[in-house]
Amino acid sequence: MFRSVVALLLLLLFLSFPVQANEVIKLRSAVMPEKTRVVFDLRDRPDYELSRPDPYRVLLEIRNVENAGALPGLGRGDLGKIVQRVEVSRSGNTARYLFTMKWAVSPLLGYLEPQANYRHHRVYLDFLNSRISGAPRGRDDTAHAPAAASPAPATSNPSTSGTRPAPGGSGVSGSDPAAITVLTPEEARKKQEEIRQSNRRVMEEKARKEAEEARLRAEAEAKKKAEAERLRAEAEAKKKAEAERLRAEAEAKKKAEAERLRAEAEAKKKAEAERLRAEAETKKKAEAERLRAEAEAKKKAEAERLRAEAEAKKKAEAERLRAEEARRRGSQTATVPSQTCTKKKIVIAIDPGHGGKDPGASGTKGTNEKTVTLAISRRLAKLVNTTRTMRAVLIRNSDVYVDLDARSEKARKANADILISIHADAATNKTAKGASVLVLNNDRAGRENRKVLNSSGKHDSLLGGAREVLEETAANGESNEYMKNMIIDLTSGKSRDAGYDLAGRIIKNLSTFARMHKFRPDERSLAVLKAPDIPSILVETGFISNPVEEKLLGSADYQKKIARAIFMSIQEHLADPRYKVEICH
Ligand SMILES: [Zn+2]
């Protein structure tokens, strides 16, 4: 039934209008954000129909088309966002354009007659992009669509018009006819204006948005750039600081090393200088010491020469006096001594301790020291005088008192070569026992030497001829004090060395039969031993305070033994080349 109606209508249409062959000259499209417009350029007023097979497809049929062999189509690039594809086909001389859309859109259909600039008839289809805000919606427009006006294609309400043919117009049909709107040219222009304004708004909005976006982008870009710059600068600064730190560190290290080396070199130099200075100092000191020692040795040698000279002079003088004495006594046989030999015998001065008012120590049985000492001394003198080379001189030969200072003086006057003082010991402890030998100690010897030096003339005999020599040198402006001191020291030293050795020999010989109190010479400060020019010793023959020894010391036999031991010691002593005394033969 429907088909027959359509066929009838088509027949009526065919009859009403002379059949005029048409041509689809061109198919073009304009793709805009808010819509895609497809325009058909036609040579003559078209006979067309739009239908909608389903919500996603729109079919436009144009009848009486001549150029059936080559209908223009649209390239894929001309479709825009809404239209997915356009399928072109024909059915007899009807051209069929089937548009498939990406989403359901109500397209606007319009027709425009040729105008000043356009000599073609135009049919256009606007596919509005409903997804852009502000774009006019086809359905809304539909409601206000005015009634069809001749000669423009009539607007028909598809739900009522059905396929009613319009003169020179078109019919609209489809599964959803409400979605299709056909506008009068006036409406189309109005619509176009609206669309243009909408487009402008959209474009303005878009431009605004784009500007905003650009601004934000630029802002972000600037921010990013600034941040990058900041980071770069930061890194640069960090790098620079690190480099500076390393450079400073290296510099400091280098400086410290240089300083260390400099200090080292300085210290080395200083040490070397100090070494050289010390070396020079030592050398200088050694040289000074050498010179001093040399001078000292020279002086000592000179002193020794003077001493020897003085001694010789003294001896010669003594001999001369003795010879004179002999002549005065009228001895015709006395010979004048030769010039070179002045001494006929070695003089041993023997000093019996105590005497007279000074009894010395006493034994428990009443034995007096002075008696024992004289007895032993006499026995010793007797032994000495048995020799041809020695002569004994007793400081006292009876029970008389002799002053201590006078004893050594007497010995000197006798020209004694050795002085031996004989004593006996005593102690409250009666068991104390044994013999000992005493010599002068260092302190007393030094004191005695100074005494000699300070006394003028009194001890000329000590210096002998040396005094004259010394006075001559003093006249030449030289100090002779040192020389004098030296001479006395030499004399005293020689005497004490000899005395010490003699004491040792006596100890040795006594110890063969007597008990000994001490086995070494005992150094003491004793007036009797003070003569600096005579080797002097003191023999403590035993303890008279000890009853056993008192008895021994009182016996002639023991006294003889002691005297012999001392005598033997003297002989041994004088046989020693060091202590040999030259005498005439
Ligand atoms: Zn005594």
> Is the Cβ–Cβ distance between 437 and 522 less than 8 Å?
yes
Total domains present in the chain: 2
207-264 per-position pLDDT tens digit: 888 888 888 888 888 888 888 999 999 999 999 999 999 999 999 999 999 999 999 9
The residue with greater pLDDT, 260 or 304, is 260
133-146 per-position pLDDT tens digit: 444 444 433 333 33
> Hey, what amino acid is at 575?
A
- Cα distance between residue 13 and residue 19, in whole Å: 9
- Cα distance between residue 53 and residue 5, in whole Å: 20
> 373 C-alpha to center of ligand 1: Å?
8
- Cα distance between residue 101 and residue 111, in whole Å: 21
Predicted confidence (pLDDT) at residue 382 exceeds the cutoff of 50: yes
Last residue of a domain, one of 183, 211, 232: 183
CATH number at residue 361: 3.40.630.40
Predicted confidence (pLDDT) at residue 293 exceeds the cutoff of 90: yes
Last residue of a domain, one of 183, 211, 233: 183
Looking at residue 487, its pLDDT comes to: 76
Give the pair of three-digit tokens for residue 366.
């009443």
Looking at residue 183, its pLDDT comes to: 63
CATH number at residue 83: 2.60.40.3500
> 382 C-alpha to center of ligand 1: Å?
21
- Using the structure block, give the residue that is written with the tokens 């423009």: 152
Determine, yes or no, domain membership for 290.
no
Q: Computed over its alpha carbons, how large is the radius of gyration of the chain?
A: 84
Helix, strand and coil in the chain, % to nearest 5: 50, 20, 30
| Of 153, 126, 140, the residue nearest 32 (C-alpha) | 126
Determine, yes or no, domain membership for 133.
yes
92-118 per-position pLDDT tens digit: 889 999 999 988 888 888 888 888 788
Give the pair of three-digit tokens for residue 9.
């209508």
> 353 C-alpha to center of ligand 1: Å?
5
> 315 C-alpha to center of ligand 1: Å?
32
> 354 C-alpha to center of ligand 1: Å?
6
Give the pair of three-digit tokens for residue 506.
């006596």
314-334 per-position pLDDT tens digit: 777 777 887 887 787 765 554
- Cα distance between residue 336 and residue 523, in whole Å: 43
| Average pLDDT for the chain | 81
Average pLDDT over residues 388-406: 94
Last residue of a domain, one of 147, 162, 183: 183
> 77 C-alpha to center of ligand 1: Å?
162
> 374 C-alpha to center of ligand 1: Å?
11
> 561 C-alpha to center of ligand 1: Å?
19
> 544 C-alpha to center of ligand 1: Å?
10
Give the pair of three-digit tokens for residue 296.
């000292």
- Cα distance between residue 175 and residue 57, in whole Å: 10
> 493 C-alpha to center of ligand 1: Å?
25
Predicted confidence (pLDDT) at residue 162 exceeds the cutoff of 60: no
Determine, yes or no, domain membership for 484.
yes
Determine, yes or no, domain membership for 523.
yes
Determine, yes or no, domain membership for 333.
no
Determine, yes or no, domain membership for 250.
no
> Is the Cβ–Cβ distance between 507 and 437 less than 8 Å?
yes
**Percentage of the residues of the chain whose pLDDT score is greater than 70:** 79
Pick the range with the lowest mean pLDDT from 72-81, 119-128, 376-385, 565-574.
Answer: 72-81
Range of the structural domain that residue 111 is part of: 2-183
Determine, yes or no, domain membership for 202.
no
Give the pair of three-digit tokens for residue 304.
């020794």
> 360 C-alpha to center of ligand 1: Å?
5
> 403 C-alpha to center of ligand 1: Å?
13
Provide the pLDDT confidence category of residue 462 given band limits of 50, 70 and 90: low
Strands 346-352 and 418-425: parallel
Distances 196 to 17, 37, 179, 209 between C-alpha atoms, Å: 36, 13, 22, 19
Q: Is the pTM of this model over 0.85?
A: no
- Cα distance between residue 514 and residue 557, in whole Å: 12
Looking at residue 157, its pLDDT comes to: 35
